[in-house]
Amino acid sequence: MRNPLLQDFNTEYNTAPFSKINIEHFIPAFKKGIDLAKAEIDAIVKNDASPTFQNTLEKLEFSGHKLDRISSIFFNLNSAETNDEIQKIAQEVSPLLTDFSNDIVLNAKLFQKIKSVFENKNKFNLDKEQNMLLEKKHKNFVRNGANLNHDDKDKLREIDKDLSKLSLQFGENILAETNNFELLITDEKQLVGLPEGAIEAAKMLAEEKPAQDKLENSWIFTLDYPSYIPFMTYADNRTLRKKMAKAFGARGFQNNEFDNQNIVLEIVTLRHKRANLLGYETHANFVLEERMAESPKKVTEFLNDLLEKAKPAAKKDFKKVKDIAKKNCVKTLQKWDGAYFAEKLKKELFDLDDEKLKPYFKLENVIKGVFTIADKLYDLTFEEISNIDKYHEEVKTYKVTDKNGKFLAVFYADFFPRKGKRNGAWMTSYKDQWKRDGENSRPHISIVCNFTKPTETKPSLLTFNEVTTLFHEFGHALHGMLANTTYPSLSGTHVYWDFVELPSQIFENWCFEKEALNLFAKHYKTGEIIPMELVQKIKDSSNFLEGMATLRQLSFGLLDMGWHSGELPEKIESVKDFENKAFADTQLYPDVFENCMSTAFSHIFQGGYSSGYYSYKWAEVLDADAFEAFKENGIFDKETALKFKQNVLSQGGIQKPMDLYKKFRGKEPNADALLKRAGLIT
């Protein structure tokens, strides 16, 4: 039988043929894809002609195309629609891919050709994009061991192979721990305080159980965000909030088969050894060389500077929450009380809670809203289509075109939790954009979220936090969809990690503007546009407990930097003790002995944020400053939007981020815009 992953897809827009792909296709496809890519590399190496940009760099850039498509399909499924078989394949193919990647960067003959082009680049009359590709490729080879001796190259290979396996195992353990916990409630009194929608969703979960496991009159709550967050925010039963919070905080920290403590220590130790092998003091030094922040010192100074400004505000915020807890007979505020009493305080201060807002944020309306805003800013049209394959029936698919009807991108949107889907929200790509042989090959972009599901009586009604999450991921998607560069490795979101959050975080700002909210915030029953009074309350409450929120983000950034730029990892004996030390300056709540953040910190141990978690705050400085331009000229000002599109969204990584930013803004960003927006300075 022919393997669909190895054929030309011959599908509409060259999209992935999910319905034809079976699990058994993946391993043969990966092996063949690696062989094909190796043959393309061999052809570059064996070419007797003098190395040029075209016969070396361009050939290398466009090699491995088939393998890239197979990998993007497989690893996206492993995040959004996984199972035991897919996870087993991931463990098998990851070392193969790591070996292949190292076969390229440690190929001495290939590196000599790249080095020759690099040293003679003035002869080749390269444009700025070609120059950037050359510089990045040359630097990537050097940074990943091209100059190492034979023995050290072998050591690097082993380290990289181990890291790829450990990272996968970390993620699988978290997914298993998330799936393994359920809070079963059979006494209706224990539901007091919970919104009707949360109760109905819990009832649906209980009813989905196999017949033999069903209990009459029962409700199930899980650690998936749409179930966990409402429970922690509204459930009056403090004992059950504690049970949920402890289960959530104990993921990967239970000394069972899914324990991540040793995996964390192994990962940070191997990253440190790898950095040392390559001539860097720490993993953070290695990573940050290719970031806007440049060094651990600069990142730590940035975080500590914000910490100094945020801490007084955070302490005031915490006191307000403690005071309202005391009024409700809670003497010591614990982590499982935070969201619950914060919501009560919010209601007291602003007469606002998510249950008042949710009727105005029906998912379908919010989707139309982001599409309308994207159209008003960037002249984009989104048409839902049914002529391309999906990996799950819940996924929505769209064709994206410009104002002239020209095809720009395929857009996949996957909104609800499932057993085989990891928690959180992310944007990803099934195919990058590039230009070759006169063709501008367009991207296939996806966003994956875990929002509140519709129930029998209600559509999916989003919390305001879920609304901002959707805007955030859609901002990333715009960065991918509007890409317009020549080379795939410089396209779309292939930019410095502390720049990649700018398009996502700036897009969140429209959620707080009446002019934008009027486009989509309509009551799901009456069609009434969200009242100005509620819009004002959203704006008034936008800085609610911002000091605490900032401190929380800074604590994660400092923990990340602690793991990757601090003491020698081999000397760390206890993950929990190390974490407590890293959190010392940011801790407000009493520690929970049974919980650990690091063992479930997927951003840095499974995702790509190691030594990069600070980038959320870094990008907030950029986005606050950038949005000032829209506020000065009008939030739908076409000229400002065009400048942002031409200098940021379409440019990928073809220039240094600060150069692109200054082209848009005319100056470097000013942190005061963020501090003012956050209410940390006046």
Beta bridge partners of 332: none
User: How far is Cα 669 from Cα 622, in angstroms, rounded to an integer?
Assistant: 6
Residue with tokens 């000065």: 632
- Look at residue 78 and give its three-state secondary structure: helix
User: How far is Cα 279 from Cα 372, in angstroms, rounded to an integer?
Assistant: 50
User: How far is Cα 78 from Cα 96, in angstroms, rounded to an integer?
Assistant: 17
Burial 610-647 (b: 16+ CB within 10 A, else e): bbbbbbbbbbbbbbbbbbbbbeeeebbbeebbebbbeb
- Considering only CA atoms, give the Rg of the chain: 25
Catalytic (active-site) positions: 473
DSSP string covering 183-252: EEE--GGGGTT--HHHHHHHHHHHHTS-GGG--SS-EEE-SSHHHHHHHHHH---HHHHHHHHHHHHTTT
Q: Could you tell me if 612 and 564 are in contact, meaning their C-beta atoms sit under 8 angstroms apart?
A: no
Sheet harboring 381-384: ordered strands across? 381-384, 396-401, 407-414, 444-448, 426-431
Q: Kindly report the three-state secondary structure assignment for every residue of 302-356.
A: HHHHHHHHHHHHHHHHHHHHHHHHHHCCCCCCCHHHHHHHHHHHHHHHHCCCHHH
**Contact partners, residue 450, CB within 8 Å, separation at least 6:** 224, 225, 226, 415, 416, 417, 421, 423, 424, 425
Burial 411-447 (b: 16+ CB within 10 A, else e): bbbbbbbeebbbbebebbbbbbbbeeeeeeebbbbbb
Helices (H) and strands (E) in the chain, counts: 27, 9
Query: Taking the CB of residue 89, how many other CB atoms lie within 10 A of it?
Result: 19
**Which among 341, 327, 344, 342 has a CA at the least distance from the CA of 238?**
341
User: How far is Cα 233 from Cα 198, in angstroms, rounded to an integer?
Assistant: 11
**Contact partners, residue 282, CB within 8 Å, separation at least 6:** 272, 275, 296, 564, 565, 566
**Contact partners, residue 319, CB within 8 Å, separation at least 6:** none
User: How far is Cα 665 from Cα 663, in angstroms, rounded to an integer?
Assistant: 6
> What single DSSP character describes residue 396?
E
Beta bridge partners of 185: 219
DSSP H or E stretch at residue 445: strand 444-448
**Contact partners, residue 142, CB within 8 Å, separation at least 6:** none
